[in-house]
Structures are given as C-alpha cells and as structure tokens.
Amino acid sequence: MHTLAQLKSGKLAGSQRLTLTADLTSLPAEILSLADSLEILDVSNNKLSSLPPELAQLKKLKILFASNNCFTSLPEVLGQCENLEMIGFKSNQIRTITANALPPKLRWLTLTDNEIESLPAALGQCPRLQKLMLAGNRLQVLPQSLAQCQNLELLRISANQLQHCPEHILDLPKLAWLAFAGNPFSQDDARSVSVPDVPSSSYTLQHVLGQGASGVISKATWNTPPPHLARDIAVKIFKGEVTSDGYPQNELRACVKAGNHPNLVKLIAKVEEENCLALVMNLIPPRYKNLGQPPSFSSCTRDTFADGFTLSIAQISKIVEQITSVVAHLHDQQLCHGDVYAHNTLFDDDANILFGDFGAASMYHMLSAQQQSKIKTIEARALDYFIDDLLSVCAQEDQCNPQFIKLRKQSLT
C-alpha cells in the first residue's frame, strides 16, 4: 500500500506497481509521472466513478484493479490502454459496458457483483480472453459472439438471470472451469434430505481454522454429541454475500448433493436458519496440506507451486487416480465442480487427497442430455490441466518413467 503523500513527493518514481486507497474521488494527476514504468495499478476501495482520458498515457499498464468503487459503467479509456491485459472491477454498480471500453490485449476480465444486464458483442473480438468473471450480475443472455473467444478457459456466469442454457459457450475448445448455478435456467427446486438439519445452538464454536471467499471455518464441539460421532467438528459459516463463484446457498446445496466419497471431507449436517447458513463437517486431520497454490497474474488460469516443490511419479499417479474417481463420483450426482484445481486439493505424505471448495459447483440434471455431455467434456479438460500441472512439478528423475509418459499423453489428448 502506498500513500498519496509518497506519490506527490515523487518518491515513487520508477515504480512498476502502485496501490492507493484514500477515499479517492478522482485519480491524482501525479500518477502520470509513472507513465514510463507503471504496470500494475490498484485503486480498489475508493470512491471513484470515472477515470481520466490521460490513463491511456500509462503505456506499460498491464493490470488495473478498481474493485469496491462507485463506477456505473466500465470506463471507455480502458479501451485505449494498449498493453492492458487484466481488469478487475468487482463490487461496483456497473450497468453498461461499451465496445470501446475493451482493450485489445484483454486476457482476464473480472466484473463480479455489479448490475450488468447485457454485454457488448465486441467481447467476441477479444481473441486473448482467457478468464471471464461475471457472477452476481443481471445478465439475461450472453452475446452469441462469445463463441468466438477460442482461448476462453475459465467462465463464471453463476448468480445471474440467464433464462436459457447458453449452448454456444459449451463448445468453446479450451473451456475447462465453468460455474453457472443460481440462474433461472439452472434452478434446482428439489430440497435434499440426505444431510440432517441442525440448529446453530447445537454446537459451540472454538477457534478459527481458516477462511475462504465464501465463509469462515471454525473448530467446534457438539454441545451434546450425536451417537457414534466425534465430539470435535469443523463448521463453515457462510458470509452471505455473492462471491466470484456465485451464491453461498448454491455452494451449500452442492456440498450436500456431492454425497460421500473417500476423497471428500465428510459432511455431517447443515444449518439453514434465517441468519445462519452453515455446514458441519468432519475435521480435516492436520497432516493434510495444500497441493497447489492459486494462479498468479501471469499464469492466469493455471495453478502455481511453491519454489522447489516436487512430487514423485508414484505420488502423482496416486493423486490422479483419486481425483479422477472423485470427479466421476460428482458427475454421477450430475454435479460439475467447476474448480478442479490442485489449489483446491489437500494431500498427505502418503499422497492421499481430500478435494474441496464447492463454491463454483453447478448441478446440471435440468439440462438436456447433449448439454450434460458437453459439461462433462468441459470438466474433463480441467482434469487434464490438473494432471499437466502436477507433471510440471514431477521429480526430474521420474520424467522418463512410463507412467509419466502415459499421463503426459492423457493430459495432451
């Protein structure tokens, strides 16, 4: 985080990255003094509603974040920023997006949680577009031209007003991560009875174990432990807001629908009260750790791994076998996970895995047989990318192993 005083004093000359949060209602003119160096500009959490035409003078600008501001339209000056690849305008009040606002090199566009009713056809003329985050808007249709985005890999259209399944996007050749729950076309009226409901007064929360985009997970204990169940549990309390993946309510229902599998954390009960939406789960044993890390700005849609992290081919094979089995299990329940990634997978020293994060999951039993089969093809692609990501960290000495070669072939087909 930088300060306005630092910027105005010239102390930030030559900076490639600038983060300013200072209740700004306009961009300070001094930003132009960084025109020859600035690549990443983060002006999230201000009160901005427009950007000046001079922004186009930032010739090196690649990434712009302006989430939590007061924009009602996507500023047209963005279309003039010749090197801008990544745009994040989450949680504004954007209603309009014109063709002029789309920069030629656009690769990653986040417009989660706005008021967008329609998108310009020109989005189809963004050949580099790889990641498009549109959850939590008011879209009733997607432009037909999206079918031309041949490089689109990750798409979030959950929590919108789409009346019909957008067939045309199901054939996109690289699409691998898709979330579409919470639309009229994907409505699921069936109330599941497979997991018991309990009141939030049935347990006592202890310390926080972790925090995801959609909720906070705490260790808890049953006040009166149900028979045959461990006293200690984990409780995920949803925050209630729409996330980049969709509505918490849909995540909860997807977790319930997922059912039991040795590679899923066992769901014990759910809480659906007026002021509390929560999942009660088994505690994950502390020996489990994250398999991967989320994508970086440059990897865009692909996971990253800690420096020096390697896996043996035996570990990779065992992990692939389990992830394939758990994804097949989800599809047996007509559930698309939408986020098959190593960063959503925990593993232990024996390469046992636990797969989680149902935030982007979508039920698809209401779709036609042909649409369902396309959804499965899309998720199969994510599985291939998952395998490819693991092979990228395979120990050097195992890279001639026949199993490595077999998995490599599988991930490339």
Ligand X SMILES: Nc1ncnc2c1ncn2[C@@H]1O[C@H](COP(=O)(O)OP(=O)(O)OP(=O)(O)O)[C@@H](O)[C@H]1O
Binding site residues, ligand X, CB under 6 A: 209-215, 217, 234, 236, 265, 281, 283-284, 344, 356-357, 359
Q: Which two tokens stand for residue 255?
A: 């977790």
- Looking at this protein, which amino acid is placed at residue 117? E
Tell me the closest approach of the beta carbon of residue 110 to ligand X, in angstroms: 14
CB 347 within 8 A of CB 291: yes
Distance CA 138, CA 236 (A): 28
Of the candidates 94, 45, 86, 84, the one whose C-alpha atom is nearest the C-alpha of residue 66 is: 45
- Smallest gap, in angstroms, from Cβ of residue 409 to ligand X? 31
- Chain Cα centroid distance, residue 297: 13
CB closer to ligand X, 168 vs 343: 343
Show the CA angle centred on residue 157, arms to residues 257 and 319, nearest 5°. Answer: 50
In whole angstroms, how far apart are CA 184 and each of 164, 203, 234, 251, 367? 8, 35, 32, 16, 12
| 75 or 246: CB nearest ligand X | 246
Residue 315 C-beta-side C-alpha neighbours within 13 Å: 18
Tokens standing for residue 216: 């906070």
236 is in an annotated binding site: yes
The least distance separating ligand X from the CB of residue 282, rounded to whole angstroms, comes to: 6
Q: Are 349 and 288 in contact (CB under 8 A)?
A: no
Hey, is 402 helix, strand or coil?
A: helix
Minimum CB distance to ligand X smaller for 166 or for 359:
359
Which of 78, 81, 44, 74 is closest to 60 using CA atoms? 81
Shortest Cβ 283–ligand X spacing (Å): 5
Shortest spacing between CB 242 and ligand X, in angstroms: 13
Instruction: Return the amino acid letter for 201.
Output: S
Nearest one of 293, 290, 288, 271 to 280, comparing CA atoms = 271
According to DSSP, residue 20 is labeled B
Nearer to ligand X, 35 or 209 (CB): 209
Q: Measured from the CB atom, is 22 or 283 closer to ligand X? A: 283
Distance set, CA 124 to CA 62, 102, 337 (Å) = 20, 11, 26
Residue 206 beta carbon to ligand X: minimum distance, rounded to whole angstroms: 12
Q: Are 253 and 304 in contact (CB under 8 A)?
A: no
Residue 322, amino acid: Q
Q: Which DSSP category does 59 fall into?
A: T
Of 136 and 166, CB closest to ligand X: 136
CB of 43 to ligand X, least distance (A): 23
Nearer to ligand X, 264 or 316 (CB): 264
As annotated, the binding site includes 236
Annotated binding site for ATP: 236
